[in-house]
Structure 1
Amino acid sequence: MRREIAAQAGILADCLEPLSARIGGIARPEGWIMAGGCGDSAFAPAALKGFFDAIGIQLEATTSMQLAGFTRYIAGDAVVLSSISGNTRRTVEAAHVARASGAHVVAVTCGKTSALAKEADDVVVLPFTPISRVTPHTLDYLVTVEALAVMGLHWIGEGTDPLIELFALMPRWSEAARDFAEDAVSAMDPAGKIFLLGGGPDLATAGYGAAKFHEAGGIPAIAAETENFIHGMNFMAEPPDSLFAIATAPLSIRRGAEVAANFRSFLTSTALIEPEPLDRGPFEPGGWQSALAALLSTTLKVQHLCLAYADRFGLDVTAPRAGRDFGAQHAEIQARIMAM
């Protein structure tokens, strides 16, 4: 996991040119655009909402299950489905249902000959090889984010050169994220739950962050909207727990700060997870570069938070439930259900 996090900036930069070439032939859809997948592949388009809003593309981020069984398609719709393997069962089903209904399907995958690729009208083969698929996914997630962002920029006729400048900032952001995470986990109690809060696209980043703790060892981590948390979910919070509010937008920052401050005397640890300051220069406040920079730097913080937690409490992130009781049973049940 540590090696994946460290490799991300370089691999994202290396992927940029081949991604631009592979996406260059995909025309902008005329109708409604939906994007999703399972797990991280569902979080990625949702976390990019601020970016897509900034470039003027209305995109509905959803899940493979929603797309497979609960979506009505009309001619001209487009569905972008992501799966690193290309064989995620529900995502393949979503592609089949969407295409059979007349929607245009774009697959984003490492699996050039995968089941998902075979169901798609266009295929974007991600130009990298995953470092690991047995630790909490970091690199795979951000390459998916990059591919979706490049696709959006292509659809509005915008060049990708500013992405090079953003990726160049990632090592500095990663150092800041590591410092933040090490400080945060020093006060955390392993007996406590972890609440990750956010609003809008920050809620998707909170969901991604919670998933990293689940993958790292079945750690009780709960993602929720910042506002909804204080409408009942707050009664689950107990003194050993920790609370982190992911905050990249004005409302998320204001409300996240209020919630964190009010729980500070009650919970073991509370903090805001905010983006690192961006030297404005060519980056327009409120523009797509700023939105993407905020997503990248906060994502690095939740990645480092999970890694620092695993280091401090001695979790073997390569083993189901970090080697604790019932890991094998969970892994067997998961494999069986995912194959159904």
Structure 2
Amino acid sequence: MNEMMRREIETQANLLPKLQPTLAELADTLPRMAGRIYAGGCGDSAFAPQALQDVFRSLGVEIISKTSMELSSYTRFQPSDTVLLSSISGGTKRTVEAANAARERGADVVAITCNGESALAQAATSTLEMPFKPLSRKTPHTLDYAVTLLATAEIARSHGGFEASTLASALSDLDKVLAAAEERANQIAEDHSPEGKVIFLGSDCDLGTANYAAAKLHEAGGLTSFAAETENFVHGMNFMLEPQDMLAILASTEAGIRRGQTVADAFSPLCATHILENEKSIPKPANALSLLLGTTFTVQFLCLKIADKMGLHLEEPRAGRPRGSQHAAAQSAAMGF
């Protein structure tokens, strides 16, 4: 069951190392960024720059993560600003609106997309066209998210003045990283109850991955899942925990691991609790990207394992659950305006 999602996850091990030199070269051809640097999009494209915050820091680059709606409606751009906007199709309406809003105020816009002829590319100042085609857009998105992570990281790497090979070591032995991620996901999935909620916690960059993780379960048939900042969770949200729920705490920074373990210990008597730590001895900044990919692969596999366990058919509308066609129609209508 769900062979397509598994195929997309496993393809990452071969495709990411193959794409890295090309993405690095494309990033190096982009105009030099200046002023404040924003990055965002909708859905996964909003989560990606948030999840990359530790990678950005390791490169000495400050990038402000915002959603497309925040950028298009609530951001006061200056002519010196640069805005990175990602969309696989390049047709996401709010993201195109964000590009137009930034351009109207004189800011530069870099489109990160698979479609160089798209509305987003046409609205942008320059474009990084990702040289790959998603295998599927019906299953919870995995491969295209990882490529967006890498493309955005390469733009930051180039801006920081690092060599084109700087991030390459983060992509070595991805087969082993995937295998370890699947094993970890198997352990976590054993504690999943179809009647329960899954709550992902994280701080800073890990909150971006927690948002991505919750979104995968939303895409997998509308399963009940939430994402929250680790510290903020204990100020009231914790009262929603029930015995059938599962708490998954993502932690890849020193502060995140320290606080995450405390929170995990505190709530383990109430429900199944897991802390996803990832540590590797790869020099920075490749280390930060490696940690991010390890956590990303784990939550991708966790989504797949839960879907298989529940008998969900991920390529069907709402994964085969009731009223799938109505949900798909409502989503399409909302996105179209």
Report what 2:298 is aligned to.
301
Kept after mapping to 1: 8 A contact 2:241/2:270: no
The equivalent position to 2:224 in structure 1, one of 220, 224, 244, is 220
C-alpha separation in 2, matches of 1:198 and 1:65: 23
Report what 2:43 is aligned to.
39
Amino acid at match of 1:272: I
C-alpha separation in 2, matches of 1:157 and 1:290: 18
Structure 1 position 290 matched with structure 2 position 287: yes
The equivalent position to 1:229 in structure 2, one of 228, 233, 237, is 233
Size of the aligned set, in residue pairs, is: 333
Kept after mapping to 2: 8 A contact 1:74/1:101: yes
C-alpha separation in 2, matches of 1:178 and 1:21: 32
Structure 1 position 310 matched with structure 2 position 307: yes
Structure 1 position 319 matched with structure 2 position 322: no
Kept after mapping to 2: 8 A contact 1:35/1:62: yes
The equivalent position to 1:261 in structure 2, one of 265, 269, 290, is 265
**TM alignment of 1:133-282, pairs within 5 A:** 133-267=137-271, 269-275=272-278, 277-278=279-280, 280=281
Provide the secondary structure at the position in 1 that maps to 2:173.
Answer: helix
Amino acid at match of 1:97: A
Kept after mapping to 1: 8 A contact 2:13/2:178: no
Moved more, 22-31 or 40-49: 22-31
Report what 2:329 is aligned to.
332
Residue 111 of structure 1: CA displacement? 0.9
Kept after mapping to 2: 8 A contact 1:216/1:318: no
Kept after mapping to 2: 8 A contact 1:37/1:64: yes
Report what 1:117 is aligned to.
121
Moved more, 127-136 or 325-334: 325-334
C-alpha separation in 2, matches of 1:311 and 1:274: 25
Residue 321 of structure 1: CA displacement? 2.2
Provide the secondary structure at the position in 1 that maps to 2:172.
Answer: helix
Please tell me the root mean square deviation across aligned C-alpha atoms, in Å. Answer: 1.1
Provide the secondary structure at the position in 2 that maps to 1:30.
Answer: coil
**TM alignment of 1:13-162, pairs within 5 A:** 13-162=17-166
Residue 162 of structure 1: CA displacement? 4.0
Amino acid at match of 1:96: N
> For each residue in 1:233-259, what CA deviation from the matched residue of structure 2 results, as whole angstroms up to 9, or x when unmatched?
011111110000000112211221122
> For each residue in 1:49-80, what CA deviation from the matched residue of structure 2 results, as whole angstroms up to 9, or x when unmatched?
11111111111011100010000011110000
Moved more, 97-106 or 15-24: 15-24
Provide the secondary structure at the position in 2 that maps to 1:182.
Answer: helix
Residue 190 of structure 1: CA displacement? 0.7
Amino acid at match of 2:64: E
C-alpha separation in 1, matches of 2:244 and 2:160: 48
Residue 272 of structure 1: CA displacement? 0.6
C-alpha separation in 2, matches of 1:75 and 1:196: 38
Counting aligned pairs with the same residue, the percent is: 46
Kept after mapping to 1: 8 A contact 2:37/2:63: yes
Residue 220 of structure 1: CA displacement? 0.4
Kept after mapping to 1: 8 A contact 2:51/2:206: yes
Residue 104 of structure 1: CA displacement? 0.2
C-alpha separation in 1, matches of 2:109 and 2:260: 37
Q: TM-score if structure 2 supplies the norm length?
A: 0.96
Provide the secondary structure at the position in 2 that maps to 1:255.
Answer: helix
Q: Which blocks of at least 5 consecutive residues in structure 1 are unaligned? A: none
Q: TM-score if structure 1 supplies the norm length?
A: 0.96
Residue 138 of structure 1: CA displacement? 0.4
Residue 218 of structure 1: CA displacement? 0.4
> For each residue in 1:207-231, what CA deviation from the matched residue of structure 2 results, as whole angstroms up to 9, or x when unmatched?
0000000001100010000111110
Amino acid at match of 1:89: K
